[in-house]
């Protein structure tokens, strides 16, 4: 079991190319998705952390993102999951994937 957990931890945090840009794009797309689902949107005073957590939890709830293990739930891992999610949604020739 420890070997599996070690593997999962290394896989979760494996750095992806242009992760910051992908995360920004993921937040943008996920916000539009949330609004289309009936969410009223975020206010200008909502922090980035609040947005990331809310959008991550929405995507997990809708089964678009596989949830993190409870002991792995933190903002850094949530951002990483959002970046992975959007990377799979973008076309192969998108500038963020190069």
Domain region containing 52:
2-97
Identify whether the C-beta of residue 50 lies closer than 8 Å to the C-beta of residue 27.
Answer: no
Q: What is the mean pLDDT of each run of 10 residues along the chain (98 residues)?
A: 46 78 97 95 93 98 97 97 96 92
How many CB atoms are closer than 10 A to CB 90? 15
Specify the number of domains making up the chain.
1
CB atoms within 10 A of CB 11: 8
pTM exceeds 0.85 = no
Please state, as a whole number, how many other Cβ atoms lie within 10 Å of the Cβ of residue 81. 23
The domain that holds 16 is classified in CATH as 1.20.120.1930
- Rounded distance, CA 86 to CA 48, Å? 17
Closest CA to 64 of 39, 36, 84, 42: 84
């Amino acid at each position: 079991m420890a070997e599996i957990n070690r593997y999962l931890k290394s896989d979760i945090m494996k750095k992806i190319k242009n992760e910051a840009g992908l995360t920004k794009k993921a937040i943008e797309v996920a916000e539009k998705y949330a609004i289309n689902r009936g969410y009223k949107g975020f206010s200008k005073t909502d922090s980035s952390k609040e947005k990331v957590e809310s959008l991550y939890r929405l995507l997990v709830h809708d089964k678009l993102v596989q949830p993190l293990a409870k002991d792995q739930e933190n903002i850094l891992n949530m951002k990483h999951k959002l970046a992975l999610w959007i990377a799979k949604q973008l076309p192969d020739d998108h500038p963020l994937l190069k």
